[in-house]
Amino acid sequence: MGDPHPKLHATELTRTFGRAPRAVEALGPVGLTIAPGEFVCLVGPSGCGKSTLLRIAAGLLRPSTGRLEIRTTSPRPAAMIFQDYGIYDWKTVRANVRFGLDIQRVPRREANARADTWLARMGLADFAQAYPATLSGGMRQRVAIARALAVEPELLLMDEPFAALDAQLRMILQEELLELTQTTRTTTLFVTHSLEEAIVLGDRVLVMSARPGRIIAEQRPPFPRPRTGDIRSTPEFTTLKSELWALLRKEAVPA
Amino acid sequence: MTTVTKPSAESLLVRRPGPQELHPVRTHRRRRALELALAAAVPLLLVLLWQLAASQAWIDDRVYPAPSTILADGWDRAAAGDLWPDVWATLKRVLAGYAVGTAAGYVLGLLMGSLPLVRAALEPLLDALYVVPKLALLPIFLNMFGLGEGPQVALVAVTVFFFVWISTMSAVITVPLGHRDAGRVFGASPWQMFHHVLLPASLPQVLVGARIAAGVAVLVIVASEQIAATNGLGHLIFDSRALFQNDVMFVGIVCVAALGVLFSELIRLVGRLLTPWAPRDRGRGQS
């Protein structure tokens, strides 16, 4: 690739779970390069190691072989958003959003101000003092997004963040995320099951094979930024989607 | 928000395989060996320290006999056959009481968990009885059953009953509604519902209660044998203390400890066989 300074660069990355003789090869080998500011979507069948790759990037898991490099200015460049939100029931919405800042020992006054900015941006300002249990699923996921973005991460890792939401809410949050990332230009690795989601959001869509997951195809959705969800109705969108589906179907059918 | 990064301040964060990934078998083996070594070394070290303290006369070895003395004495008593009647007496009471208490606790817990009316009727009463120290019931049992095995077995049974009852009831109440609904839609009879859904769904939690109860059963029997028995390990411990046979007292204590560990490990093993789907319970319980 042309970029001499990629944000994230993985070579020959594999991950095996368990020990021989019952070892399961979950991932790879995978090579991956992400440029600064790029939004990369990873699609693949269930259990293909998408999340494993993400967890390696997050530093939650070590690779079995290979290496993954992140070019960064801070020791903890990544923030992660989980499928089941991962927000804490025992913290108010504002305290949840402030969590990453509290961990980084940002002074309380500044942390509150930054948390409130993000709450306002996510339309949660009125719920700052509410507990997550009183919120709907979509609002909880907004809290999780605000929590991740409040630390201004250099690398945003999203693990099927909208999988637990209903279809309409999904589309709405996709639009919001699109708007958000187009202004912040945060480097993002986004794992999803949904081809549509990947095409709408991604600068690049990578298709993974069934386990052990390798990257079998790469597509650049031909929609200039800033874009909106309206691209769903274009013929290019439909063509790209069926193209990717043809690839993915072969992998998704159980062997 | 992420500003354009200055190449000068940039560093490379590398995620690479650690020792566990590079040598999985070796790392696992070392880890297991270390765990086993620690599990054996810590008690051993304490016993050695005790031995040293006794032989160096840092402690009075008439009050705290050296481990070697206790071991020798225990060996002699076991070889001569003096120890087994007491061990056997205690074991019999524990097993009998445990069986009765578990069965009663399970049945009542199941009924109260599934039938709200039974729960409404009995819960306040049982809650009140639960907080009564079980040893305080021993005089009542002595009046009821006389001086034989009855009061001892009854005391163990009552103690065990409460642990199993509470864990069963809460397990049955927390069986997910979806599990029951699926059975109801198929038209499951009460017996089928119990057999296919409630029993397996509640079993892991019931077994945790049962294992804690196993430890407490040993605890209670020792106390009650001290008060109202003419044999058994509890009797042995307190009797020998009264006779200034401190080494015999410690033999009894060691036997009780061994009995407790064996019993609760046995329950854990049974539990593992009964619930192959459940995550392994490695906790020690708070007994």
CB contact under 8 A, B1 and A152: yes
Mean pLDDT value of segment B108-134: 88
Q: What integer is the mean pLDDT of B244-273?
A: 86
Q: What is the pTM of this model?
A: 0.72
Q: What is the largest CA-CA distance in chain A?
A: 56
Is the CB of residue A154 less than 8 Å from the CB of residue B2?
A: yes
Calculated CA dihedral for residues A134, A140, A142, A144, nearest 10 degrees: 130
Q: Which residues of A touch B11 (CB under 8 A)?
A: 71-73
Q: Do B21 and A59 touch (CB under 8 A)?
A: no
* Cα A204 versus chain centre, distance: 13
Asked whether the CA dihedral A120, A126, A130, A136 is positive or negative, the reply is negative
The residue of chain B with its CA nearest to that of A9 is B14
**Chain A positions in Cβ-Cβ contact with residue B10 (cut-off 8 Å):** 5, 71-73
What's the pLDDT tens digit per position in A189-235? 999 988 999 999 999 999 998 888 889 888 898 888 888 888 889 99
pLDDT digits (tens, 9 = 90+) for B36-80: 999 899 989 999 998 898 888 888 877 888 888 888 888 888 888
Question: Cβ–Cβ of A186/B1 closer than 8 Å?
Answer: yes
Is A67 in contact with B24 (Cβ distance < 8 A)? Answer: no
The string of pLDDT tens digits covering residues A115-153 is 999 999 888 899 999 998 888 888 898 899 899 888 888
Q: Is B124 exposed, middle or buried (0-12, 13-18, 19+ CB in 10 A)?
A: exposed
Please tell me the predicted confidence (pLDDT) of residue A255.
Answer: 54
Q: Is the ipTM of this complex over 0.85?
A: no
Cα–Cα distance for residue pair B65/B55, rounded to 1 Å: 9
**Which amino acid type is present at position A60?**
L
| Span B107-120, pLDDT tens digits | 999 989 888 898 89
Please check whether residue A5 touches B, CB under 8 A.
yes
Packing angle, helices B150-173 and B116-130, rounded to 10: 130
Angle at the Cα of A206 (from A202 to A211), degrees rounded to 5? 140
Write the residue in A57, A59, A184 that is nearest to B1 by C-beta: A184
How confident is the model at residue A60, as a pLDDT?
87
Instruction: Please check the confidence at residue A99 and state whether its pLDDT lies above 50.
Output: yes
Sole residue written with tokens 């439909």: A238
Which DSSP category does A83 fall into?
Answer: T
Q: Is the pLDDT of residue A2 over 60?
A: no
Whether B15 sits inside 8 A of A63 (CB atoms) is yes
- Could B21 and A73 be called an inter-chain contact, meaning their C-beta atoms sit closer than 8 Å? no
128-147 in chain B: CB under 8 A from chain A: none
What secondary structure does DSSP assign to A120-170, as a single string? HHTT-GGGTTS-GGGS-HHHHHHHHHHHHHHT--SEEEEESTTTTS-HHHH
pLDDT at B281: 53
pLDDT cut 70: percent of chain B above it: 94
The pLDDT score that the predictor gives to residue B1 is: 38
Q: How close is the nearest chain A Cα to the Cα of B239, in Å?
A: 54
**Are A72 and B17 within 8 A, CB to CB?**
no
**Segment B156-168 mean pLDDT:** 91
Residue B138 vs residue B283, higher pLDDT: B138
pLDDT at B280: 63
| Cβ separation A67–B20 shorter than 8 A | no
Q: Is A45 on the interface with B (CB under 8 A)?
A: no
Q: Which tokens belong to A60?
A: 């939650």
Please compute the mean of the pLDDT values over residues A152-176 and round it to a whole number.
87
The half-sphere exposure of B276 on its side-chain side, counting CA atoms within 13 A, is 1
Cβ B221 vs Cβ B159: under 8 Å:
no
How close does chain A come to B30, measured CA to CA in Å? 14
Q: Does the bond joining A212 to the residue before it have cis omega, within 30 degrees of 0?
A: yes
Neighbours of B245 (CB within 10 A): 16
Chain A, 177 to 236: residues with Cβ < 8 Å from chain B are 184-187
